[in-house]
C-alpha cells in the first residue's frame, strides 16, 4: 500500500468517525470506578452539544517498530444534534488537509492536488457513529453494548482528572480492534484517544485547549477548498 493511501486510510478511520499505563488495584475497586464513570457519562451525555479543540496525533507502525516522525496537528470540531453526528478535522501541519464526516459521508480534501475524495459509509454508519461517540457525547450504555470495557485507572491530563478506559471491539469487522480513551466523565469529552488496528499499528490523539458547548458556526462543518476541486466518489 502506498504511503499516501495508508495515511488517508488512517485519517478516515479516525473520523469513523472525533488513545504510561496506570491500573487501579483490586477487581472490586475497578468495577466500582467503572460504574461511577459510566453513570457520569450517561448523566452528562444529554448536555453535550459540541466541542472544539486543538489536536496532535502520532502514528506508530508495528511492522517497522517505529513512530512516524511527522506528528500531525490542527483543529477538531464535533457536533451532536440528537442522534445526528458531525465531525471535522482541519490538519494544518505538516501537510494541510481536511476531513469532514457529515450525513453519513466522509469527505477528504487535499489542497494539493485540489481534490475531494468522498465515501458514503452506507451500512457501516452505525459503526462509524459508535466510533465517533468515543468521548464526544456518547452514552456509556451504548459504549458497553459495542465494546468490552475495562477501567484502567485515573490520570490527570492538562489539569483534568480523566478516567482511562480500555475498549475491545465486539465487532470483528469494526474500524479498529482496540481503543483506549482518557475521558473527562463530567463533560463526557475525551482528552486523549489511542486506536489500534489488528496489525498492531496505532494512532495516538491528544486534545488541547478544549472548548465545550461553545457556539460553532455551521461554516466549520464545510470543506474550505480552492476553486473547482476535482471530486472523486468511492
pLDDT in tens, the chain (234 residues): 455 555 555 444 544 443 222 222 334 446 679 999 999 999 998 899 999 999 999 999 999 999 999 999 999 999 988 777 889 999 999 999 999 999 889 999 999 999 999 998 877 776 676 676 677 888 888 888 889 999 999 999 999 999 999 999 888 877 788 999 999 999 999 999 999 988 999 999 999 999 999 988 888 999 999 889 999 998
**What pLDDT sits at residue 226?**
87
**What pLDDT sits at residue 104?**
87
At 26 the three-state DSSP class reads: coil
CATH number of the domain located at residue range(s) 3-18+20-233 in this protein: 2.50.20.10
List the one residue out of 138, 153, 154 whose CA is nearest residue 38. Answer: 138
**What pLDDT sits at residue 8?**
52
C-beta of residue 78 within 8 angstroms of C-beta of residue 132: yes
- Report how far residue 14's alpha carbon sits from residue 132's, in angstroms, rounded to the nearest whole number: 8
List the one residue out of 209, 157, 222, 217 whose CA is nearest residue 53. Answer: 209
C-beta of residue 133 within 8 angstroms of C-beta of residue 16: no
CB atoms under 10 Å from CB of 114, counted, come to 13
First to last CA, the chain: 17
At 105 the three-state DSSP class reads: strand
**What pLDDT sits at residue 26?**
36
Amino acid at each position: 500500500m502506498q504511503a499516501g493511501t495508508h495515511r488517508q486510510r488512517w485519517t478516515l478511520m479516525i473520523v469513523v468517525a472525533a488513545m504510561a499505563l496506570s491500573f487501579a488495584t483490586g477487581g472490586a475497586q475497578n468495577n466500582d470506578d467503572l460504574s461511577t464513570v459510566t453513570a457520569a457519562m450517561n448523566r452528562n451525555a444529554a448536555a453535550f452539544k459540541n466541542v472544539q479543540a486543538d489536536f496532535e496525533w502520532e502514528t506508530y507502525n508495528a511492522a517497522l517498530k517505529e513512530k512516524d516522525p511527522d506528528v500531525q496537528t490542527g483543529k477538531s470540531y464535533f457536533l451532536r444534534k440528537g442522534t445526528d453526528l458531525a465531525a471535522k478535522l482541519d490538519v494544518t501541519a505538516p501537510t494541510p488537509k481536511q476531513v469532514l464526516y457529515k450525513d453519513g459521508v466522509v469527505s477528504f480534501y487535499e489542497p494539493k492536488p485540489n481534490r475531494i475524495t468522498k465515501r458514503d459509509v452506507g451500512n457501516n454508519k452505525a459503526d462509524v457513529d459508535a466510533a465517533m461517540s468515543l468521548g464526544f457525547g456518547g452514552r456509556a450504555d451504548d459504549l458497553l453494548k459495542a465494546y468490552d470495557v475495562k477501567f484502567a485507572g485515573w490520570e490527570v491530563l492538562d489539569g483534568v482528572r480523566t478516567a482511562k478506559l480500555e475498549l475491545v471491539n465486539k465487532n470483528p469487522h469494526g474500524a479498529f480492534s482496540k481503543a483506549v480513551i482518557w475521558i473527562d466523565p463530567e463533560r463526557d469529552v475525551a482528552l486523549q484517544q489511542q486506536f489500534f488496528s489488528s496489525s498492531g499499528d496505532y494512532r495516538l490523539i491528544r486534545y488541547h485547549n478544549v472548548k465545550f458547548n461553545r457556539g460553532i458556526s455551521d461554516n466549520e462543518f464545510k470543506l474550505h477548498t480552492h476553486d473547482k476541486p476535482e471530486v472523486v466518489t468511492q
